[in-house]
């Protein structure tokens, strides 16, 4: 009996998920907003807010608007957000595998942050931005968790999903796609100071590498949302005890 032919592994999908003009507008708009935020950050960091809840809600709206813009581009190309997100949770083990990967990746991220902090030194601008954003009350903490989950879902879908996929379709190289989305992601955080922007660029590169490896942004979503939530809790405790 002749052996049945082995089906070749399907090549990775490197087709565009949105029109090119849509991505150009997104990149130009993100760069413009990042420089605008960097210009306004000294004023914002000195603001005395009676409550941070409206600020958190405004940030959530911005995240959702960014995701909405991406959704429009994806639909214009006849695709779906699931094509951008990648992966699939058909069984419970699929979900828990991504959770374990996210937790292991968290260790890598923490190690990177420690190294970058040692190499770059203190960052007063970033510290002021963090101090201004950290939740203080129970109400702020509750909304902060919602913001963390929203940011984890939206930013991973937009940068590691949509933008990285578009860069991969244009260049055909994962390295270029990961690097470009990381640079844009870092520039979007210039309001935290250039040192934090460098750290966040490296942070975005690690998330991009994870997405390229897993062909999915799901583990990154889990880690991103978990880390933002954890950072808010730790930062709040530090602020209450005057360590921040």
Structure tokens at 1: 């009996």
pLDDT means over runs of 10, the chain (244 residues): 44 80 94 74 61 93 96 95 93 95 93 86 71 88 96 96 94 93 89 82 94 96 95 85 66
DSSP letter, residue 216: B
- Looking at residue 242, its pLDDT comes to 67
Rounded Cα–Cα distance for residues 244 and 242 (Å): 5
Beta strands in 22-164 (DSSP E): none
Identify the bridge partners of residue 86 per DSSP, sorted by sequence position. 216
Tell me the angle at which helices 194-214 and 218-240 cross, rounded to the nearest 10 degrees. Answer: 150
Identify the bridge partners of residue 136 per DSSP, sorted by sequence position. none
pLDDT tens per residue across span 196-205: 888 899 999 9
Determine how many CB atoms are found less than 10 A away from the CB of residue 211.
Answer: 28
Structure tokens at 124: 């007063």
Identify the bridge partners of residue 216 per DSSP, sorted by sequence position. 86
- Looking at residue 130, its pLDDT comes to 74
Q: Where are the domains of the chain?
A: 20-26+52-82+95-240
pLDDT tens per residue across span 33-79: 887 766 665 555 556 678 899 999 999 999 999 999 999 999 999 99
């Amino acid at each position: 009996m002749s052996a049945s032919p082995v089906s070749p592994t399907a090549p990775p999908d490197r087709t565009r998920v949105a029109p090119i003009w849509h991505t150009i507008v997104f990149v130009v708009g993100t760069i413009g907003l990042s420089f605008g935020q960097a210009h306004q950050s000294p004023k914002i960091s000195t603001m005395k807010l009676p409550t941070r809840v409206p600020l958190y809600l405004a940030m959530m709206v911005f995240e959702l608007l960014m995701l909405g813009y991406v959704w429009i581009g994806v639909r214009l190309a006849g695709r779906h957000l699931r094509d951008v997100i990648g992966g699939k949770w058909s069984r419970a083990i699929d979900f828990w595998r991504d959770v374990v990967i996210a937790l292991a990746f968290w260790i890598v991220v923490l190690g990177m942050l420690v190294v970058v902090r040692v190499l770059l030194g203190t960052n007063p601008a970033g510290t002021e931005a963090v101090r201004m954003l950290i939740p203080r009350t129970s109400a702020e903490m509750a909304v902060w968790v919602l913001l963390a989950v929203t940011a984890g879902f939206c930013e991973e879908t937009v940068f590691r999903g949509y933008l990285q996929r578009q860069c991969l379709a244009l260049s055909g190289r994962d390295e270029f796609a990961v690097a470009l989305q990381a640079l844009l992601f870092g520039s979007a955080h210039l309001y935290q100071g250039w040192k934090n922007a460098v750290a966040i660029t490296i942070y975005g590169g690690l998330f991009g590498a994870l997405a390229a490896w897993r062909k999915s942004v799901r583990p990154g979503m889990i880690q991103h949302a978990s880390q933002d939530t954890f950072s808010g809790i730790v930062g709040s405790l530090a602020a209450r005890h005057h360590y921040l």
